[in-house]
Amino acid sequence: MFRNIRLLILIGVISLVTCGSVIGTYVATAQTPSSIIPLTIDGIECNATEHFLFHIHAHISIFVNGQHMYVPPQIGIIPEKCIYWLHTHDESGIIHIESPIKKDFTVGQFFDLWKKKLNNTQMFDNLFNQNDNTPEIYINGNKLPSGTNYRDVKLHAHDEIVLIYGTSPSHIPSRYDFPQGL
């Protein structure tokens, strides 16, 4: 009889330890964004807070057959979860680069984050990922040489990056008036 009681107590203790471990693991992972979502897209991490060690802003304008293309808000932001080092807050086209490390970031990395947000990726894939559909690229009003890969264009502080697919617009922006403090 004592043997059965000892066995039951041992089983109970093992069950409590195992259950506590499982609950502890669940609580720890439920509160950590890294366990819920992919943390890295094209080398860009998604963290619970913004970083300000390397903090700059660039602006992107995209034209398709002369028409300005909408750059959506919240690219690189997963509400109440995390924020990627490259992101947009609004539809202005301002790319926020807020990273814990100083390094070069590119238009290609930004587009990789954008692609993850799009609902209709077919248009995005057709426009931005075709080898035969190369945009004209302007940085601060200066046209880059034909054949420059837009994905490799580096994002620098206060650059105005313009990508043009098809017919050019009547005016190509050479600068962007960033709000004070950006």
**What is the mean pLDDT of the segment spanning 173-179?**
97
Q: Domain limits at 9?
A: 2-31
Tokens of 3: 């043997």
Both 152 and 111 in a single domain?
Answer: yes
Burial of 175 (0-12, 13-18, 19+ CB in 10 A): exposed
What is the pLDDT at residue 115? 80
Both 9 and 84 in a single domain?
Answer: no
Q: What is the pLDDT of residues 74-90, one digit of tens each?
A: 999 999 999 999 999 99
Both 114 and 155 in a single domain?
Answer: yes
> Of 28-42, 65-79, 129-143, which gets the smallest average pLDDT?
28-42
- Any idea how long the chain is? 182
Both 12 and 46 in a single domain?
Answer: no
CA distance 24 to 11: 20
